Amino acid sequence: MSVVSSEAAREQSRVPIGVKFFQLAPHFALFVFLLIIWEVAVATDLIKSIMIPAPSAIVASIIELYFTKGTIYYHFGITFAEAVLGFTIGAAIAVILAVSSALSEPFKRYIAPYAILLNVTPGIALTPVIIAWFGYGMGSKIALAAVLCFFPIYVNTLTGLIQRDEDREDLFRSLGAADILIFTKLRLPSALPMFFAGLKIGLTTALIGAVVAEFSQATDGVGVLMNRFSFQLNMASSIATLLSMTLIGLILFYTMEFLDDRIVFWRREARRASVSWAKRRAYKRRVK
Amino acid sequence: MDKSIVSDDVVVRANGLGKSFGEGAVIALEKASFDIKRGSFVSLVGPSGCGKSTLLRLISGLIEKSSGSVQVHGDEVQAPRPEVAMMFQKATLLDWRTSLENVLLPTELNGNVTREDEQKAADLLRLVGLKDFLFSFPSQLSGGMQQRVALARLLQTGADVLLLDEPFGALDEFTRDRLNVELMRIVGEVGATTLFVTHNITEAIYLADQVFVMTPRPGRIAEIINVDFERPRPLSIQTTPEFNKLVAHVRDVLGEDH
Amino acid sequence: MSNSQTFNPAKTNRAHLGRKRALLHVVIFSTLIVSWETGSRIGLLDPLFYPSPSSILNSAWTIYVANATIWYHLYATLGLVFLGFLAGSIFGTGLGAIVGFNSVVRRFLKPYVIVLEATPRIAVAPLLIAALGFGSASKIAIIMLVCFFAPFINTLSGVVNVNEDKLELFKSLRASKLQILKKLVLPEAIPVMMAGERLALTAALSGALVAEFIQRDKGLGSMILIYTRNLNMASAFACIFTLTVIGFLIFRGMEWLDHRIAFWKNEAGLARVSTKRARKMEGF
């Protein structure tokens, strides 16, 4: 994700609840105001409800999907699973190839052209082929998600591993560290920030892959649901389903932010302080 | 041989000049009062937090004072003005412009650039020793060369009050010495009044007619020391006993208020 | 030595290495192709699902030359991409600049931007098609939507994150707001904006394909879908490789443009413009 959202996430975690309320109030007020204008515009036919439904209709649809009939949970789960599984597979392959490329210059050189070709081809073009190969079920969605998220993760991980800090490596060598130790204790941790940046992009891309594959051919998933509602011209439900995709996106993003924050702790001031504290406590306990 | 090109005309005058941040919580500069005469070279020396950069920025008009007054050529300083030009610790050149175009920036911002302006800019770049690099870009130049372009840009403004905020701080000692010698020569030639911020005591005394020794917490001018060595000054003067007596004195002043 | 050529062992070694490496690339590629072809022939890879390289080439010949069916669809897709990209990125850049200059708007827009970023924008495709009907209008709308975001965010970032030191420099030289905009903000923002445009163009191509998948009337996307449905995988792959070529040309083209516009970010550009400007100002 971009700088905007990461910053926002970080800022928000440091502010106490009371102040947060006052910060959020004007935003909330604006939101309600916009909703009211929108509702009135549709009611007075300024905006055709066929093209853009009224907020009340969308809310009604949300209530139906999430509470009354609860149809959304199953599809939500399916799409979520597709995105996460596809992401895991794509990320695993990407990391293995990236580590291999970082360790072996010839390996990198000879798979480079194929990686470039894969990057340059719009992955979405492969959708029908992947569906033909993996069938109409979840398999094809997972496959497309994996294919789409492979390259960003590969490139970012590789870049992270390739950026070598000569001074630090000299330090390690002067302390007598074997090459494998230099890799695990220096290059891997140094690569973590870029690695997580790649993961964040990959996650977003995997979700896109899952959804697009669902558009083409599927029976279950929020993509299918949205497609169906759209073609029934049930715009309100369609938008309500779209919002559930946003929800999936937000969950995935903030999960990754959380992992990033905890694992790459040295990049965030607040986290640095708390990790430092924790280590001090642990040390005191040991020394006692 | 010039003993001093300092005239009696007061160019910069400060009276109880002070600056605080956060509603008086942090006093960056406490009530400074001084007179600076035309053509003199003043060094501001002291550790971090002594207010030297703040003082410079107050004179330049980039920040607003909290108390007292500061005047340049008799007029109260409200905002940046053409008679005052500043040079920063980072060369701050525009990466998409050649050296010549960077030097011409002040002229450009003030109106049209004439052929004479271009010629003057080229001459200035030759003056600072960059005659073969007129059309190079900043990323093609070393740190020292970039600062020299920044110096040429400073001179292009035609300002007679020059403010330099640790301009050579990031450079190695040899380059710094060379640039200091050049700076003194150029500034003497054009007759400018110069304020030079540094945290290097030797540099401060070597370059200046007056040294403002500043101390932190709160930032203030602890003492103003006159330096009467003749100009032009060779680098070797730094090893003479008179010079080192001054250095020891400055260290004393700074040492007390730690 | 009467020989006018100088003998440089290091140079010839490097040339040898280069040639050896190129050869290895060719060998690896040919091995892959040959094993693929053989696998297909002996039935290891079901030719119905995994077309052999020869059949792909055959189909390519058919659709490009013999029946020349692909050109119409190629132009259809490219036309859409071009129009949609232009509209979407101009709109995104413009809005990004406007929001960038207005800190109040920026603050209030932030939550909506976060939500927009989390949503897979391409997912709106069926909605737009339902709202605007089948046809080019909805396709272009979809493309505009997908390629709006990157230029918007990047232009916004470029305008907001102006280098503090450079800003102070301009202020010390008493530059007007317009001058700061023209001579500082704009050049500083250009590299980041270009990056946004490149992302947008890539997204535009994907957007066009998704729109065509759903509408299935014309364009490369529709063709791939139809060929796949008819299990004419060879032709489908021929189309996919066409997209690879297009994608590669787009990548190279944008890279060239980037190197020319943001010339100061790469060595070759610096050298080129430096000589150009030196020549322009003769007699110094």
On the 0-12 / 13-18 / 19+ scale of CB atoms within 10 A, C221 is buried
pLDDT at C240: 93
The domain that holds A89 is classified in CATH as 1.10.3720.10
pLDDT at A122: 92
Q: Is the pLDDT of residue B81 over 70?
A: yes
pLDDT at A11: 55
B180: nearest Cα among B43, B51, B60: B43
Q: Is chain B touching chain A, with at least 3 CB–CB pairs below 8 Å?
A: no
Q: Tell me whether residues A126 and C120 touch, CB distance under 8 A.
A: no
Q: Is the pLDDT of residue C219 over 70?
A: yes
A92: nearest Cα among A253, A206, A11, A185: A206
- Lowest pLDDT segment from A209-218, C150-159, C168-177: A209-218
pLDDT at A7: 52
Residues A115 and A195 in one domain: yes
Cβ contacts of A283 within 8 Å, gap of 6 or more:
none
Candidate from C114, C129, C240 with C-beta closest to A121: C240
CB pairs under 8 A between A and C: 140
Q: Tell me whether residues C110 and A8 touch, CB distance under 8 A.
A: yes
Q: Kindly give the residue spans of alpha helices, DSSP state H, lying in chain B.
A: 52-60, 99-103, 105-110, 115-127, 143-156, 173-190, 201-207, 241-256
Chain C interface mutation, best of B77, B103, B109, highest count of C Cβ atoms under 10 Å:
B109
B99 to chain C: closest CA residue: C274
How close does chain A come to C253, measured CA to CA in Å? Answer: 12
Kindly report whether the peptide bond that precedes residue B241 is cis, defined as omega within 30 degrees of 0.
no
C216 touches chain A (CB under 8 A): no
Candidate from C165, C263, C274 with C-beta closest to B92: C165
3-class DSSP string for B196-207: EEECCHHHHHHH
pLDDT tens, position by position, A2-41: 444 555 555 555 566 777 777 788 888 889 999 998 888 8
For residue A161, tell me if it sits in a domain. Answer: yes
Q: CB of A55 within 8 A of CB of A39? A: yes
Residues A7 and A146 in one domain: no
Residues A65 and A190 in one domain: yes
Out of A32, A51, A70, a domain closes at A51
How close does chain B come to C125, measured CA to CA in Å? Answer: 41
pLDDT tens, position by position, C89-126: 999 999 999 999 888 899 888 889 988 888 889 999 99
Q: Tell me whether residues B100 and C281 touch, CB distance under 8 A.
A: yes
pLDDT at A1: 41
Chain A residues in contact with C114 (beta carbon < 8 A): 4-5, 8, 250
Q: How far is CA A265 from CA A223, A272, C148, in A?
A: 36, 6, 33
Cβ contacts of A178 within 8 Å, gap of 6 or more:
none
Mean pLDDT across the stretch B117-145?
91
Cβ contacts of C266 within 8 Å, gap of 6 or more:
C259
Chain C residues in contact with B88 (beta carbon < 8 A): 165, 168-169
For residue A230, tell me if it sits in a domain. Answer: yes
pLDDT at A9: 55
Q: Tell me whether residues B137 and C172 touch, CB distance under 8 A.
A: no
Distance CA B66, CA B50 (A): 16
pLDDT at C14: 77
Superfamily of domain B8-83+161-233: P-loop containing nucleotide triphosphate hydrolases (3.40.50.300)
Q: Is chain C touching chain A, with at least 3 CB–CB pairs below 8 Å?
A: yes
Confidence of residue B175 (pLDDT cuts 50, 70, 90): confident
- The phi and psi torsions of A186 (rounded to 5 degrees) equal -120, -60
Distance CA B175, CA C237 (A): 63
For residue A107, tell me if it sits in a domain. Answer: yes
Residues A164 and A34 in one domain: no
Mean pLDDT across the stretch C153-158?
93
C231 to chain A: closest CA residue: A132
Q: Which residue has the higher pLDDT, C4 or B204?
A: B204
Chain B residues in contact with C166 (beta carbon < 8 A): 92, 94
On the 0-12 / 13-18 / 19+ scale of CB atoms within 10 A, A247 is middle
**What is the side-by-side strand order in the sheet with B84-87?**
B84-87, B161-165, B193-198, B41-45, B210-215, B220-226
Q: CB of C51 within 8 A of CB of C40? A: yes
Distance CA B67, CA B218 (A): 15
Q: Tell me whether residues A235 and C125 touch, CB distance under 8 A.
A: no
- Lowest pLDDT segment from A117-126, B83-92, C38-47, C239-248: C38-47
B167: nearest Cα among B207, B123, B210: B207
On the 0-12 / 13-18 / 19+ scale of CB atoms within 10 A, C9 is exposed
pLDDT tens, position by position, B3-52: 445 667 889 999 989 998 887 788 888 889 999 999 999 999 988 888 88
Residues A61 and A44 in one domain: no
Q: CB of C173 within 8 A of CB of B157? A: yes
Chain C residues in contact with B195 (beta carbon < 8 A): none
For residue A282, tell me if it sits in a domain. Answer: no
Low-confidence residues in chain A, pLDDT < 50? 1-4
Cβ contacts of C170 within 8 Å, gap of 6 or more:
B109, C179, C180, C183, C184
Distance CA B6, CA B227 (A): 12
Candidate from B80, B95, B119 with C-beta closest to C171: B80
Residues A99 and A182 in one domain: yes
Distance CA B109, CA C181 (A): 12
C70 touches chain A (CB under 8 A): no
Chain C residues in contact with B108 (beta carbon < 8 A): 183
pLDDT at B1: 39
C211 touches chain A (CB under 8 A): no
The single-letter code of the amino acid at C124 is V
| DSSP-assigned letters across all residues of B111-162 | SPPPHHHHHHHHHHHHHTT-GGGTT--GGGS-HHHHHHHHHHHHHHTT-SEE
Q: Tell me whether residues A129 and C233 touch, CB distance under 8 A.
A: yes
pLDDT at A2: 46
Q: Is the pLDDT of residue B128 over 50?
A: yes
Residues A43 and A166 in one domain: no
Mean pLDDT across the stretch C175-181?
93
Q: How far is CA C39 from CA C60, C232, C237, in A?
A: 20, 18, 17
A50: nearest Cα among C215, C130, C135: C130
Q: What is the 8-class DSSP label of residue B88?
A: -
**Domains of chain C and CATH, by start:** 62-262 (1.10.3720.10)
pLDDT at C6: 66
Residues A243 and A173 in one domain: yes
- Subunits with 3+ C-beta pairs closer than 8 A to B: C
Helix %, strand %, coil % for chain B, to 5?
40, 25, 35
Chain A residues in contact with C214 (beta carbon < 8 A): 215, 227
Residues A73 and A156 in one domain: yes
The single-letter code of the amino acid at C257 is L
3-class DSSP string for C89-138: HHHHHHHHHHHHHCHHHHHHHHHHHHHHHHCCHHHHHHHHHHHHCCCHHH
Candidate from C113, C157, C225 with C-beta closest to A128: C225
SS3 B221: strand
Q: CB of C210 within 8 A of CB of A82? A: no
Domain count, chain A: 2
Chain C interface mutation, best of B135, B154, B156, B195, highest count of C Cβ atoms under 10 Å:
B135
Q: Which domain range does residue A116 map to?
A: 53-275
pLDDT averaged over chain C? 89
Q: Is chain C touching chain B, with at least 3 CB–CB pairs below 8 Å?
A: yes
SS3 B86: strand
Q: Which residue has the higher pLDDT, B209 or A3?
A: B209
Q: Which residues pair with B14 in a beta bridge?
A: B34, B70
For residue A3, tell me if it sits in a domain. Answer: yes
pLDDT at B178: 87
Chain C residues in contact with A246 (beta carbon < 8 A): 115, 118-119
pLDDT averaged over chain A? 87
SS3 B26: strand
Name every residue in B having a CB less than 8 A away from some CB of C: 60-62, 79-82, 85-86, 88, 90, 92, 94-96, 98, 100-101, 105-106, 108-110, 118-119, 122, 134-137, 139-140, 157
Q: What is the percentage of chain C residues whose pLDDT exceeds 90?
A: 51
Residues A128 and A43 in one domain: no
Residues A24 and A157 in one domain: no
pLDDT at C139: 94
pLDDT at B2: 44
For residue A245, tell me if it sits in a domain. Answer: yes
SS3 B18: strand
Pairing assessment for the beta strands B10-21 and B26-37 based on DSSP bridges: antiparallel
C97 touches chain A (CB under 8 A): no
- The residues spanned by each domain of chain B are 8-83+161-233, 91-158
pLDDT tens, position by position, B136-174: 999 999 988 999 999 999 999 989 999 999 998 888 888
pLDDT tens, position by position, C268-282: 889 999 988 888 876
Residues A92 and A19 in one domain: no
